[in-house]
Chain A
């Protein structure tokens, strides 16, 4: 089943650059035809069209407060959406996007998993996240859910 890996964050801000670094890593790897890789940057709500073609979606982002520093955590869409405690503003990110997603898409919402990294990321963590994202994206949907 086709999947999409969307790496988000700011490559110019240390600590928020995890997603872009994983994107760079993925871009250098052989990727199956049915896996789409997107450098999502700071696009926020501008990423909504990437959620409308039925693909499973894996966001890669920096996280804070979910696990021990240096560790990678898998989060379901609703858990990330619950972190949205206010309205839209210039700092709105994945929590806001995932909170409004079910109401604003023109198609049924995709299965979304967030691959988050807590704290400063070393090169090994970036490579690990890239491989994990690819592994999950190439699994069957059922296997991905169990993972």
Chain B
């Protein structure tokens, strides 16, 4: 077999600090290497700062999921202080985090993932003209509609957090203030309006109807049930995705991780099978095991860091070292592993671990794919929006109840804040000594999904997902772009200088 290595494959749209190289032979991808090309070093930036500084600093890691970093930072401080926030604080934190998710899920799918459907490489597809009309960058009807509608829901975070952007209202033991009942009612109206739009345009049906779709046959029936469902964003994702073969590529390790997220208040009408709305767990296929944070390690054998054994993030170091690696290292991203195994994280992992029947059926059938991953992302708001409304109603009904325990201070100690970000598992591991941060380790979802190889040669999640992918044009491997974007790689949102083109 003749093979050819294509370095830094030309994504049709820039993901500046991500470089993916593929080996191509016999019409398919035979190997892949994913590199983060920017050393960010936030962990070292945090050392020596005040114990509470993570609440202000870490939300600035990312322009899209700043509330998630705030949530992880606050949970780490809760753990150090041994504090359990009161119910209303839990509700406020959760609703803010869920707002970020429901906005990001739709934006990422329509503005990033489905935008690729309008790429000229798909011009021969029968649905191409419609894709162009819907998703042409910055002009397609769906793209404009999504930007217009998703901007409104963010006002919920502004109200709950007291400001936007850079809300830092989550503090050790709870939240720093509570909005008035009138403002909470405003949030309920905003979320209700977003839900109505989501049902009308994204699903084409009620959330209740969508949640009845519990296997692949039911999904097919749903797709052809009404014109609204057929023409919805979800319907188009399925129709175009299948026509383009996205349901047959991008399987990967078929191993999934969720830290669990969204603690249930002690008193709530929301029902879940665990004490969190999003369950923690690890799955090989659909075979579940309990998640134990102690089994996480970070391998740096193929990353530009000084040599060390694979260590748990509570004891690991971030010591950049790009010399003397003799070509083995190729990324600034470490390689997180669970029980020494590579796993993927994100909405599909959440769905499998939560036991959502449609996605369990898909994975059980061996049909894990780029399309399944994206379908899980686009339809996740159907599990979140009704609960957001419930928790806002409970906040209004219980207005005046405590929002914080403790004195807002953090003693010396160490703890971890684990949450689910929009694109998967996010963890902050923090140690405080003499009221100063002496250690701060962060593992992002894109580190889990976009890691390089580890010492055993095991590929990262999207490296593995690329293997065996048929590629029509190796000089423009758009198929690889579809797979990687189904993980929503987030490596570049930190720098936005205006460049003349």
A→B interface (CB under 8 Å)? 8-13, 15-16, 39-49, 61-66, 75, 80, 82-96, 99-100, 103-104, 106, 114, 116
Considering only CB atoms, which chain A residue lies closest to B118 in the complex?
A87
Chain A residues with CB under 8 A of B202: none
Chain B 26-48, CB-CB to A under 8 Å as 1, else 0, gives 00000000000000001001000
**B60 and A10 contact, CB distance less than 8 A:** yes
Chain B residues with CB under 8 A of A47: 165
**B498 and A90 contact, CB distance less than 8 A:** no
Chain B 480-496, CB-CB to A under 8 Å as 1, else 0, gives 00000000011111111
Chain A residues with CB under 8 A of B490: 90
Chain A residues with CB under 8 A of B499: 63-65, 83
A-B contact pairs, 27 of them (CB 8 A): A8-B496, A10-B496, A12-B57, A13-B494, A16-B496, A41-B165, A42-B494, A43-B63, A44-B64, A45-B107, A45-B147, A45-B151, A49-B164, A61-B497, A64-B498, A65-B500, A75-B498, A86-B14, A87-B13, A87-B111, A87-B112, A88-B112, A89-B112, A89-B492, A91-B492, A100-B143, A104-B148
CB distance from B145 to the nearest CB of A (A): 9
Closest 10 CB pairs of A and B: A42-B63, A87-B137, A93-B496, A65-B500, A88-B111, A43-B165, A90-B493, A48-B151, A91-B492, A104-B148
**B107 and A91 contact, CB distance less than 8 A:** no
**B60 and A100 contact, CB distance less than 8 A:** no
Q: How far is the CA of A144 from the CA of B148 in the complex (A)?
A: 29
Please judge, given known A-B contacts A86-B137, A88-B111, whether A93 and B60 are in contact too, CB under 8 Å. no
Q: Which of B363-390 contact A (CB under 8 A)?
A: none
**B498 and A93 contact, CB distance less than 8 A:** yes
**A95 and B498 contact, CB distance less than 8 A:** yes
Chain B residues with CB under 8 A of A93: 496-498
B138 within 8 A of A: yes
**B62 and A42 contact, CB distance less than 8 A:** yes
CB distance from A13 to the nearest CB of B (A): 5
Choose among A11, A46, A63 the residue with the greatest number of B CB atoms under 10 Å from its CB.
A46
Please judge, given known A-B contacts A64-B498, A87-B137, A90-B492, whether A49 and B165 are in contact too, CB under 8 Å. no
Chain A residues with CB under 8 A of B200: none
**A116 and B498 contact, CB distance less than 8 A:** yes
Chain B residues with CB under 8 A of A39: 165-166
Q: How far is the CA of A91 from the CA of B13 in the complex (A)?
A: 10
User: How many residues of B are in contact with the other chain, CB < 8 A?
Assistant: 45
Q: A15-B497, A16-B496, A91-B15 are in contact. List 10 more A-B contacts (CB 8 A).
A: A12-B60, A41-B60, A41-B165, A49-B164, A87-B111, A88-B115, A88-B138, A91-B493, A103-B147, A104-B151
B155 within 8 A of A: yes
Q: How far is the CA of A43 from the CA of B166 in the complex (A)?
A: 9
Chain A residues with CB under 8 A of B137: 86-88
Chain B residues with CB under 8 A of A10: 60, 494-496
Chain B residues with CB under 8 A of A82: 501
**B138 and A48 contact, CB distance less than 8 A:** no
CB distance from A103 to the nearest CB of B (A): 5
Considering only CB atoms, which chain A residue lies closest to B147 in the complex?
A104
Please judge, given known A-B contacts A16-B495, A90-B64, A116-B498, whether A46 and B164 are in contact too, CB under 8 Å. yes
Considering only CB atoms, which chain B residue lies closest to A47 in the complex?
B165
Choose among A40, A44, A64, A89 the residue that contacts B500 (Cβ–Cβ < 8 A). Answer: A64
Q: How far is the CA of A40 from the CA of B258 in the complex (A)?
A: 32
CB distance from A45 to the nearest CB of B (A): 6
Chain A residues with CB under 8 A of B496: 8-10, 16, 42, 44, 61, 91-94
CB distance from A61 to the nearest CB of B (A): 6
B144 within 8 A of A: yes
Q: How far is the CA of A9 from the CA of B499 in the complex (A)?
A: 13
Chain B residues with CB under 8 A of A63: 497-500
Considering only CB atoms, which chain B residue lies closest to A98 in the complex?
B498
Chain A residues with CB under 8 A of B203: none
B16 within 8 A of A: yes
Q: How far is the CA of A17 from the CA of B143 in the complex (A)?
A: 30
**B63 and A83 contact, CB distance less than 8 A:** no
Chain B residues with CB under 8 A of A92: 496
**A13 and B495 contact, CB distance less than 8 A:** yes
**B497 and A104 contact, CB distance less than 8 A:** no
Please judge, given known A-B contacts A12-B45, A89-B13, A89-B15, whether A100 and B497 are in contact too, CB under 8 Å. no
Q: Which of B446-496 contact A (CB under 8 A)?
A: 489-496
B154 within 8 A of A: yes
**B151 and A49 contact, CB distance less than 8 A:** yes
Choose among B45, B115, B494 the residue with the greatest number of A CB atoms under 10 Å from its CB.
B494
Q: How far is the CA of A123 from the CA of B161 in the complex (A)?
A: 32
Chain B 145-166, CB-CB to A under 8 Å as 1, else 0, gives 0011011101100100000111
CB distance from A79 to the nearest CB of B (A): 9
Chain B residues with CB under 8 A of A40: 165
Chain B residues with CB under 8 A of A94: 496, 498
Q: How far is the CA of A12 from the CA of B42 in the complex (A)?
A: 9
Choose among B63, B139, B493 the residue with the greatest number of A CB atoms under 10 Å from its CB.
B63
